[in-house]
A and B are shown apart, each in its own frame.
Chain A
C-alpha cells in the first residue's frame, strides 16, 4: 500500500490530474461564485447594449438581447454542474444499487438486471434522452431525469463487473465464514474496494452529462429561457454567426474546457487509484 504522502506526490507528478483538477476546480469555483456574484445580471435584457463588442464593462461582450455573455457563462456553469451532479447522482445511486444487487445475488436477478442494461444500451444515450424529454416536456428537471436515467445502466454494468471480481476474493470467503450476510458484505467489503472505479466512472459520466445537457438545450429540450445554459447560448448564436461569431465561440470554449477538464481528472484519478500503475512508477 502507498502512503498518503506517496499518493499526493504522485498526484503532483501527474499532468492529467493537475490540468483536470485545475479546470474542474475553476468550473466549480465559477459556479460557486456565480451563486453570489456575477459582473452583471445574467438574465436582465438591456436592448440598448445589444451585441456590443468585448469591453471593460462587458469583458466578453453582450448577446442579441444585451445580456452580459460572461455572466451568462458563469450562471451557465452552475446549470451544468447542477445537471452533472444530480444526473450522475441519480444514475450512480440506482445503477450501483442494481449492479451490487446483481453481483450479490447472481442467478436470475443478475440475468434480468444485465439484460435490461443491454437493452438500454441498444438505444443511443442521447436519443433516449431526447425521447424522454419529448415525453416529459422540455426543462432542466426533465433533462436531468433523462440524463440520470441513461446513466443507470452504465453504473450498473461497471459496478457488477468490478463487484464480481471482489466477490471471488478470499477475504469475502472469510467474511462469509464469519457469518456476514450478503448485504453487509456488499457494504463493508465490496463497495469500498470498488469505490475507486466508481469515482473514475462518475467523473467521466459527469463530463458526458454536461455534454448531454448542452446537447439537449441546444435542441431546445433542456434548460428553458431565461435561465442561461451553454447549449442554448450556442443555439441562439447560430443565426448570428456572421454578425457576432464570438457568441458561439465563448460557450463552445466553455463546454470544451469543462468536458476536457473532467475527462482529464477522470484519467488522472484512474492512474492514481490503479495499484499496478502506482507500482510501476
Chain B
C-alpha cells in the first residue's frame, strides 16, 4: 500500500515537474471574434488586441500606464515648431517572411495610410503628415502640416504599424509583421493561434511558444471553459457577476483594472428630436449612473461625465453637471415641445454591458416619458447600419481608443455631432506644445461635449480579468487596446 502510494506520489511529482518545464502555451478567451486581422481595414478592438505589439510593431508603443515608449524607433527628436519628427529606427528587425525591415517599410506603410484611397480607420491622423522622408535605412523623418501633440500617441496604434509591402494585401488573413509573435493558423469560429517568432531579437526572453485566442460568445461557456482548463485566461469577462466564484477559487486570480473604454449612450445628434440640445440634456438629467453601474455592472465601473477616462491626468469630473433630476428633465422635454415624451429606439450591440445597460437606461428614460423600444442587434448589424450608416436613434457602446474625444471633430460620424467650436478647440489641443496648456485645453474639451450633452456619458468600462494562478506578466489595465504577449510567463 505504502509502495503504491509513493509511486503515485512520485508520478504526480514527475507530472508536475514535467508540466512546469513544458508549459509554454497559453489559451486566452475572447468574446468577440474579429472578421479579419488587418487593423488598417477594420477598427474592431479585438484585431488591435491580437495584432498590436504582438504581430506588428510600431515606431513607438504604449506601456501599461499609457506612457509612450520606444519600440521600432530607439529614439526621436521633435523640432521646436512641432512640425518635424525624426525617428532613429532599429536595424535588427526582420519581417516574418525573413526580409529585413528598414525605413522604406515605414515610408511605405505610412504613405499607404495617407493615400487618398486609404482604408485606414485612423486615416485622419495620417492626413496631417505632409511627407515621410528616409535619409538612411535607419532614419525616418515625418513632416507635419500642422502641429499634432497627439501624434506619438496615435503612432502606438497597430493602425500605424510597419508592414511588409509584399504581403500587405493578405494581412487580413495572414498578417505579416516584425513582432515577437507571428500568425500561426486560424480556425474560423473557434480560434486564432500565434506562434513565437524565433528570429526576433528579443525571442529569448519570450517564454510562451504558442498562444491561442479562443472565441467564446456565451459567458457561461467561457466560465465552464476556464473551470475545465480549456482556457487559461479571460482578460475581459463579459459577465461581472461571474467574478464572484473565481474570487473564491485559489486556482484563479481575479484582476480588476480599467480600460480606455468610455461606455456612452450614443445619440443621433442630427435627427429630431435629438438635434435639440434640451432633449439631450433632459436625457442626461434622467440617467442615474450609480444605479446603472450597480444594476448592469454589479458595481464594477467608474461613472464618467464626459468622453474622457478618469485615470488620465487631465481628467475633470463632470458627473455633477447633470444631476439626477426627473422634474427638470421633464421640464426640458416640455420646453423642447415634447411634454408627453416621445418614442425612440435603442439599438444594442451583443455585449452584455450594452444589453444590460440598455434595459436600465430604457427604464430610466421611461421615467421622463421617453418610451424606448429596445432592439438587440448583432455586431455586423451594428458596425454596418448603426456605425457606418447612422441608422439609429440611440445606441450603447464603449469607445476604446485613447483620446477618442477627437471623434467629436469627425465629419461625418455616426452620432452626427457638428460643432465648429469644438473642432477649433481640438485644433488648439493638437498645436499645444506646453503640457500644462494642453491639459487645460483637454479639460475645456471635456466640458464642451458635456455642455452640449452630445451623448449620454455612462461609465468607464472596467477590465475584469480572470487568470489561472501561476500566469504572470499580464496587464491589469488596457491603456489602448493592446495586450502584449511577450512578457507573459508561467511561474508554476
Alpha-carbon distance between A64 and B294 when the two chains are bound, in angstroms: 9
| In contact, A243 and B244 (Cβ under 8 angstroms) | yes
**For chain A residues 32-67, which have a beta carbon within 8 Å of chain B?**
43-45, 47-48, 50, 64-66
* B239 close to chain A: CB less than 8 A: yes
Which chain A residues in 191-248 approach chain B with CB under 8 Å?
220, 224-226, 238-243
A243 touches B241 (CB 8 A): yes
In the complex, how many angstroms separate the beta carbon of A204 from the nearest chain B beta carbon? 32
Counting CB contacts under 8 A, is B68 at the interface? Answer: no
CA distance A117 to B239 in the complex (A): 43
Within 287-346 of B, Cβ neighbours of A (below 8 Å) are at 288, 290-291, 294-295, 298
With the chains together, A214 CA to B239 CA distance in Å? 23
Complex CA distance for A65 and B219, rounded to whole angstroms: 18
In the docked arrangement, what's the CA distance between A94 and B229, Å?
52
Q: Say which residue of A45, A48, A50 sits within 8 Å of B363 (CB atoms).
A: A45
Distance of A237 from chain B, by nearest CB (Å): 10
Q: Does B284 contact A (CB under 8 A)?
A: no
For the complex, what is the distance from the CA of A240 to the CA of B239, rounded to whole Å?
9
- Chain B CB count within 10 A is highest, among A45, A138, A220, for A45
Majority SS of interface residues in chain B? helix
Q: If A239-B219, A239-B239, A242-B245 touch, does A226 touch B363 (CB 8 Å cutoff)?
A: yes
Q: Does B195 contact A (CB under 8 A)?
A: no
Task: Please state if B360 and A240 are interface contacts (CB–CB under 8 Å).
Answer: no
Task: Write out the residue numbers on chain A whose beta carbons fall within 8 Å of the beta carbon of B242.
Answer: 239, 242
How far is the CB of B466 from the nearest CB of chain A, in Å? 13
Which of B269-299 touch A at CB < 8 Å? Answer: 288, 290-291, 294-295, 298
Q: Which residues 375-433 in B have Cβ within 8 Å of A in the complex? A: 375-376
Select from chain A the residue with minimum beta-carbon distance to B245. Answer: A242
Given A239-B241, A241-B220, A242-B245, are A43 and B363 also a contact pair (CB < 8 Å)?
yes
Contacts of A240 in B (CB 8 A): 241
Residues of B within 8 A of A238 (CB): 219-220
User: Contact check: which of B295, B359, B376 meets A226 at CB < 8 Å?
Assistant: B359
Is B362 part of the binding interface, using a Cβ–Cβ cutoff of 8 Å?
yes
Asked if B374 is at the interface of the complex by the 8 Å CB criterion, the answer is yes
In the bound assembly, the distance between CA atoms of A240 and B290 in angstroms comes to 21
Question: Could you say which residues of chain A place their CB within 8 Å of the CB of B364?
Answer: 45
Question: A225, B359: Cβ atoms under 8 Å?
Answer: yes
A242 CA / B245 CA spacing, docked (Å): 7
Residue of chain A at shortest CB distance from B242 = A239
A225 to B366, CA, bound (A): 13
Q: Nearest-CB distance from A139 to chain B (Å)?
A: 9
Interface size on B, residues (CB 8 A): 25
What is the bound-complex CA distance between A275 and B6, given in angstroms?
75
**What residues on B are CB-neighbors of A225 within 8 Å?**
358-359, 362, 374
Residues of chain B contacted by A66 (CB below 8 angstroms): 295
Bound-state Cα–Cα, A171 to B416, Å: 74
> Residue of B at shortest CB range from A134?
B378
Report B-chain residues with C-beta under 8 Å of the C-beta of A220.
376
Closest to A238 in B: B220
Whether A65 touches B241, Cβ cut-off 8 Å, given contacts A45-B295, A225-B374, A238-B220, is: no
8 A Cβ contacts from A230-281 to B: 238-243
Report the minimal beta-carbon distance from B348 to chain A, rounded to whole angstroms: 9
Closest to B355 in A: A225
Residue of A with least CB distance to B359: A225
Q: Is the CB of A64 within 8 A of B219?
A: no
- Contact status A44-B363, CB under 8 Å: yes
Q: CA of A48 to CA of B358 in the docked complex: distance in angstroms?
A: 18
Shortest CB–CB separation between residue B230 and chain A, in angstroms?
18
Q: Could you tell me the distance between the alpha carbons of A243 and B245 in the complex, rounded to whole angstroms?
A: 8
Which residues of chain A are within 8 angstroms of B239 by Cβ–Cβ distance? 239
Given A45-B359, A243-B244, CB of A226 within 8 Å of CB of B294: no
**Which residues of chain A are near B223, meaning CB under 8 Å?**
239
Q: Mark B202-220, 1 if CB is under 8 A from A, else 0.
A: 0000000000000000011
* CB–CB B363/A138 < 8 A: no
Q: Cα distance A138–B359 when bound, in Å?
A: 16
Whole-angstrom distance between the Cβ of B128 and the nearest chain A Cβ? 43
Chain A residue nearest to B291 in the complex (CB): A47
Closest chain A residue to B348 by CB distance?
Answer: A225
Is B295 within 8 A of A224, CB to CB?
no
Q: How far apart are A69's CB and chain B's nearest CB, in angstroms?
A: 16
- Closest A residue to B292 using CB positions: A47
Distance in angstroms between the alpha carbons of A206 and B324 in the assembled complex: 46
The answer to whether A224 and B374 have CB atoms under 8 Å apart is yes
Q: Inside 8 A of B356's CB, which chain A residues have their CB?
A: 64
CA distance A138 to B381 in the complex (A): 14
**Known A50-B295, A65-B295; contact A226-B374, beta-carbon cutoff 8 A:** yes
Cβ contact within 8 Å between A224 and B244: no
The answer for the CA separation of A65 and B363 in the assembled complex, in Å, is 10
Given the complex of chains A and B, what is the CA–CA distance between A64 and B356 in angstroms?
A: 10
Smallest distance from the beta carbon of B303 to chain A beta carbons, Å?
Answer: 14
Is B220 touching A239 in the complex (CB atoms < 8 A)? Answer: yes
Cα–Cα distance between A226 and B363 once the two chains are bound (Å): 8
Tell me the nearest residue of chain A to B363, going by C-beta. A45
**Inter-subunit contact B359/A65 (CB<8 Å):** yes
Q: How far is the CA of A239 from the CA of B244 in the complex (A)?
A: 11
9 of the cross-chain contacts (CB-CB < 8 Å) are A47-B291, A50-B295, A64-B356, A138-B376, A225-B362, A226-B362, A239-B223, A239-B241, A242-B244
Taking A45-B295, A242-B245 as known contacts, 13 extra A-B pairs with beta carbons closer than 8 A to each other, sorted by chain A number, are: A45-B363, A47-B294, A64-B356, A65-B295, A65-B360, A224-B376, A225-B374, A226-B374, A238-B220, A239-B223, A239-B352, A241-B220, A243-B244
> Which residues of B line the A interface, CB within 8 A?
219-220, 223, 239, 241-242, 244-245, 288, 290-291, 294-295, 298, 352, 356, 358-360, 362-364, 374-376
Q: Which 3 A-B pairs have the closest CB atoms?
A: A47-B291, A45-B363, A239-B239
